[in-house]
Amino acid sequence: MSNIVYEGVNWNKPSSELAQVFWDQQWKQIWFPEEIAVSKDIQQWKSFEHQGTYKKVFAGLTLLDTVQTNIGMNRVAAYTDDLQEKAVLTVFDAFEAIHAKSYSYIFTTLCTNKEIDELFEWIKKNEFLQYKANKIADIYTSIKESDNESLWKAMFASVMLESFLFYSGFFYPLYLGGQGVLRNSAEIISLILRDESIHGVAVGFFAQGIFSKFDTEKQDELKVWGYELLLDLYQNEMKYTDDIYAETGLSPDVKAYVRYNANKALMNLGLDTMFPDEEVNPIVMNGIRNEGSTYDFFSQKGATYAKAKVVPISDDTFDFSNLN
Ligand SMILES: [Fe+2]
Ligand SMILES: [Fe+2]
């Protein structure tokens, strides 16, 4: 038997500068996909021209949120020493599971079972999607016990995933929703985006705390590692974008949005931006401004959000006789 002295998490005194703030904000934003009326999109969906692209966008996001649930947040939390920060990361992980499930809710509302089966097969076969999942997951699974360098690298990878790689997918529902097309599905994406904004800021902040303790030489070495990883992921992301957006003609707009978010990911990590400023499609930018950006994540629940009324638990709660 081991003889470790286990400590309890003590929230009575602050051990981490912002853990309480991130905790409060994340719980304030709790939501469930079933609270959004995606079925209202069915009518528009029937005549929607680019169903193939739309489905692949959501399938790709499903994979990223699955990896983030099972490997990313999970491992970063496991190797984080501060018990308050660990608790915050564990809560974030639960939200990743909600995100990953929410795409299935959209699929089940809009697609046939056969289409859904095909999509989950497509996830396994798309080389660019699998490339980014592998690249990021390898860094997560390389964290070593009591090793801040590998933990910082995993946090860097996590911010790349959440503040940068998700956005090639987020673009499409935001772009369409901003024009009144498939608005309820877009609402789900805006709620996910709002969570990712906190996650990117929080994990970036925790990473900066670790980074500040390295000497200058190590910091320089890690920066080179980080920018090389970003470039590698960026090149793959350009190919992924061309692949899934081919039939829509939107690739150039998606790519500009991806570069914009790559810069934001770097800012979350306290590092210099990499890409020159450029204009991002205003429809998508409006969507973000309304739903909370990286620096404005203290926003309200979305416009079409209708939270189910909470009924107190009674004997009737456990009466399932009316469900056949
Ligand atoms: Fe997520
Ligand atoms: Fe996240």
Which H helix or E strand runs over 300? none
Q: Which residue has the tokens 């902040």?
A: 205
Distances (CA, A) of 230 to 157, 159, 199, 223: 9, 11, 18, 10
Q: Ligand 2 centre and the CA of 297: distance in Å?
A: 13
Q: Which residue has the tokens 């994340």?
A: 26
- Could you read off the pLDDT tens digit of each residue along the chain, which spans 324 residues? 999 999 999 999 888 889 999 999 999 999 999 999 999 999 999 999 999 999 999 999 999 999 999 999 999 999 999 999 999 999 999 999 999 999 999 999 999 999 999 999 999 999 999 999 999 999 999 999 999 999 999 999 999 999 999 999 999 999 999 999 999 999 999 999 999 999 999 999 999 999 999 999 999 999 999 999 999 999 999 999 999 999 999 999 999 999 999 999 999 999 999 999 999 999 998 765 544 433 333 333 444 433 333 344 445 544 445 443
Helical ranges in the chain per DSSP H = 19-28, 42-46, 51-67, 73-79, 83-110, 113-125, 127-140, 148-160, 167-177, 183-211, 216-245, 251-268, 282-291
Nearest-angstrom CA–CA distance, 223 and 225:
5
| Confidence at residue 287, expressed as pLDDT on a 0 to 100 scale | 65
| Confidence at residue 310, expressed as pLDDT on a 0 to 100 scale | 35
Ligand located closest to 169 CA:
1
Q: Which one from 54, 103, 234, 245 is the annotated catalytic residue?
A: 103
Q: Ligand 2 centre and the CA of 195: distance in Å?
A: 6
Q: Ligand 2 centre and the CA of 163: distance in Å?
A: 9
| Confidence at residue 16, expressed as pLDDT on a 0 to 100 scale | 85
Ligand located closest to 99 CA:
1
Q: Which residue has the tokens 């690249």?
A: 135
* Burial zone of 57 (CB within 10 Å; 0-12 exposed, 13-18 middle, 19+ buried): buried
In sequence order, the 6+-apart residues with CB closer than 8 A to the CB of 303 are: 187, 290
* Under 8 Å between Cβ of 77 and 93: yes
Q: What is the pTM assigned to this prediction?
A: 0.89
Q: Ligand 1 centre and the CA of 5: distance in Å?
A: 34
| Confidence at residue 96, expressed as pLDDT on a 0 to 100 scale | 98
Q: Based on the residue annotation, tell me whether 103 is a catalytic residue of this protein.
A: yes
